[in-house]
Chain A
Amino acid sequence: MVGAGSDRQSYQNMDLTLETLTQGEPAACDPGQIEARLSTLWRSAAAGAGSERALTRACALTLLIYVESEAAAKEVTALINRVGTQNPSRSVVMVVDRRAPVPGLTASVSGSCHFPTAGRRQICSEEISLVARGDAVRALPSAVVPLLKAGLPVYLWWRAGRFVPPPEFNVILRITDRVVVDSERFADPVTDLASLAATIRAAAGHIGFSDLNWLRITPWRDLVAQCFDSAEPRSALPRLREVRIECEADRGIHSAQALLLAGWLAGRLGWRFAPDTVSGSRDLSGTLLTCRFESASGSVSVSLAGRAKSERNGTGLVSLILVGGEPGGTFSFLRDRDKNSMRASTELPGRARIERYARVPIPDEVSLLNEDLKVGRRDRLYEEALRVVAQMAPALACLPQSDSV
């Protein structure tokens, strides 16, 4: 079902020209005519080749973006321009607004251009926006699928909460190579991560999944792994007895980052979750969750401490402390968000403390997405960590709800 929506009116005075395209101005068009309009436009661009306006088109993938409101679409449009500088793509923003009173499917196209280096031609990417209101959501996939660039990979950036694609999206998922979610947006990280684990299992490897939040903790995983490179600290790994993770989050211990980090450690080190050992609260600031895992050499206590996010520092992991059993050893990692750095220190019996600072800038959403789009393969470590979180989920769900410890 294709019809004119209110946005169309606002685009009425804007025709699709080379000027408007390179300036990133959206121009309304009939959803069935998008390819034809873009084709006309690029022909006019080719005619300008050699002039000061000379530009070229680059495309390495199709990026589908799922959002649930037009406000979210505007937000994402501003971000896409920056994606194109590192991952030239055709992006298709799919706005699914089921509750809109008047059904309709509208489309607009725009471009974003940048100069890779001074004196070079402008590199331009295409951006298409499709807004489906009410029942027109059913028609959305039929407008999207023909827009995919032939022969190039298709990424679906799920910029909403829990990954629950509407049934109509099956046709899109069938031709999607990878789904990118951001578990930072999950309303209930424990349940939503467990749900994602089930979805990944059901996909059986046909679609890859990645999580921008997993990339946020990559520097943590990286620094932790490096600390166990030399023989002496590595011999402490099987004897770890205690893991303390602290994070700042809107939802206290409900931090997807903390859960994923715990899941990664447990998955990598072969620990088994002991469901009867969970205690604590699962709400709001100042909370503490403790549980135990069983390793080959004994029991490991894992605690997740959450505190309310501070204005200045935002959300995310704050510290990680790993404590070894006999003969001892403490490995601590502390984030200094003001300085975009992390401090890692290793204390082993009879050895001087080794401390180091490493640069860990706080990446924004686009930087994370750009990094993720460059890696094509399935991330089995993420899947492993998710499986651990899914094992923890039923026990965590039984915890009493309270506003404080």
Chain B
Amino acid sequence: MAETAVLPNPLKEGLRLRRSPEPCAMVIFGASGDLTERKLVPALYNLFRDRLLPPGFSIIGCAKTPYTHETFRNKMREGIKKYLNATSEEDSFLESFHQGTYYITDDFGDSGAYDQLTQLLDQLDRERGTSGNRLFYLATPPSFFPVIVKHLGLAGLAKPKYPGKSWTRVVIEKPFGRDLATARELNKIVTDVFDEDQVYRIDHYLGKETVQNLFIFRFANGIFEPIWNRRYIDHVQIAVAEELGVENRASYYEEAGLVRDMIQNHVMQLLSLVAMEAPPRFQANAVRNEKVKVVLSIRPVRAERVPDMAVRGQYGAGWVAGKRVPGYREEPNVSPQSTTETFAAMKLFIDNWRWADVPFYLRSGKRLAKHVSEISVQFRSAPHLLFDRNLTEGIEPNLLSLRIQPDEGISLKFSAKVPETTLQIRPVQMEFRYGDSFGSTPPTAYETLLLDCMLGDAMLFTRDDAVEAAWELIDPILDRWRADGSQGLESYEAGSWGPAAADALIARDGRKWQRL
């Protein structure tokens, strides 16, 4: 590629479609794995087919399995057909897509493979116009991250090929460490080779359309922000509930547990979005600065306070959606004595001017009554009731519910007079559902995030300081639970809303969990 200074593309300006990135090559480490076949390549294919990827876009798969270019293409072709139900009508797209697909056999520690990779990338720059733009995606188990990152650095692939004119980015899949120490270690390994602004830590939860809508809801509407504070809000609840058990992830889950799997990342992201201040501008670091400030402001939970502030549970056998399901310890590959938590509830406080003394109640679990993620913002009651107490017992505080999934939407509960009564008051609900007002299907989380990464928009990716701040908060709780062993690990019936101790946690404050 000639290193010539070029002006912006005038034909790109003002197009009403989603933006499409500059030509680039994406290198997937761990390309023979499930994630590549099920999620990454189908997402890339969808983007390609819908004209959201540039001409010349190329994929290089790297993994230990000895494939040829053609066998890798065939495997990916089959994956697309299987997971996207692609028919033979799409053969011309598939053929066109796979013209830019290549494969290198690599055990991740062989410098020869990185030389081969460098040569292939240079060839693609020349032949397919990828312009020196490179995206490295680490879809391997985390234990391979250090060796891949180190070799990318040694091969000279971590720095942009044409400084100032081309880009190099690396995408890292969660988990980002399993505690503060390992997260710091990983961050150091990565940032010794890449600059932080080249690093995209992907948490697919943030790619969900409705999570992004939280930001729009708060900062594109003028009416909520003035009352979005301790003066008007009594408390906030965040629930991420799953019907599913551990499925085929038992070996991972036994090591991780619910808090590492859900709270440290997904739930913390939701909490940050609900509680953050308005950023000075809609730009990645401006938004991420505000989000990390929230986590840093959360009052640490000291070890001795853990039993008062947090509850953990593990599901026993029960019924979910009409089917009998086994308890966690009866699941394949789970230890019969396992103390891994599959449910957690906690109460946190954010020590800043906006949220001082407003409790944030979090709960998440597997094998709960239904699959639902919701943020409930309960407002304070009216300061003085004018009405006869006997007639107004039904008055409930206003509740704003932000449903993340399923049936994404927003509802507001308020009081209304029951018609034809003297003065009976009853709560009613005003509902908005995205699906009712916008009939189109949003892109998948991976499509959104891969595209954002190629466009250099890091807003929906997690920064190193945010990862470390979340671990710093969570570590003392996990340490205390580990020290306690099975003591305090509450059992709950699959298909319920978690252990009774979780109800007690919130009931101690005179409150109750929202019915979801």
Q: Give residues in A with beta carbon < 8 Å to B.
A: 56, 58, 60, 85-88, 116-117, 120, 123, 218-219, 221-235, 237, 265, 268-270, 339, 341, 344, 346, 351-352, 354-360, 370, 374-375, 379-381
Contacts and interface: CB of A to CB of B under 8 A. Distances in A.
B508 interface: no
Interface in B432-467: 433, 435-440
Interface string B144-187: 00000000000000000000010000000000000000000000
Sorted nearest first, the 10 A-B pairs with minimum C-beta distance are A86-B439, A225-B11, A357-B96, A381-B14, A230-B129, A230-B23, A358-B51, A359-B49, A230-B131, A58-B436
A277 to B, nearest CB: 23
A216 to B, nearest CB: 13
A199 B4 CA distance: 43
6 contacts: A88-B437, A225-B9, A229-B12, A231-B6, A237-B9, A237-B10
Contact of B51 (A223, A230, A235, A379): A223
Contacts of B13: 268, 381
Interface residues of B, number: 48
Contact of B7 (A223, A226, A234, A339): A234
A221 B128 CA distance: 21
A123 B436 contact: yes
B96 A354 contact: no
B17 A357 contact: no
Interface of B: 1-2, 4, 6-7, 9-17, 20-23, 48-51, 54-56, 89-90, 92-93, 95-96, 99, 126-131, 165, 407, 431, 433, 435-440
B23 A359 contact: no
Contacts of A120: 407, 435
Nearest to B51: A358
Contacts of A87: 439
Contacts of B96: 355-358
A341 B55 contact: no
Given A229-B23, A232-B1, A232-B2, A351 B129 contact: yes
Contacts of B20: 222, 226, 229
Nearest to B10: A268
A105 B303 CA distance: 78
Contacts of A56: 431, 436
A341 B93 CA distance: 8
Nearest to A269: B10
Given A228-B12, A229-B22, 14 more contacts: A58-B436, A221-B15, A222-B15, A223-B51, A226-B51, A229-B20, A229-B21, A230-B130, A234-B7, A341-B93, A351-B129, A354-B129, A356-B55, A381-B13
B127 A351 contact: yes
Given A120-B407, A218-B17, A227-B55, A339 B89 contact: yes
B162 to A, nearest CB: 9
A287 B61 CA distance: 50
Nearest to A223: B51
A374 B6 contact: no
Contacts of A117: 407, 435
A357 B436 contact: no
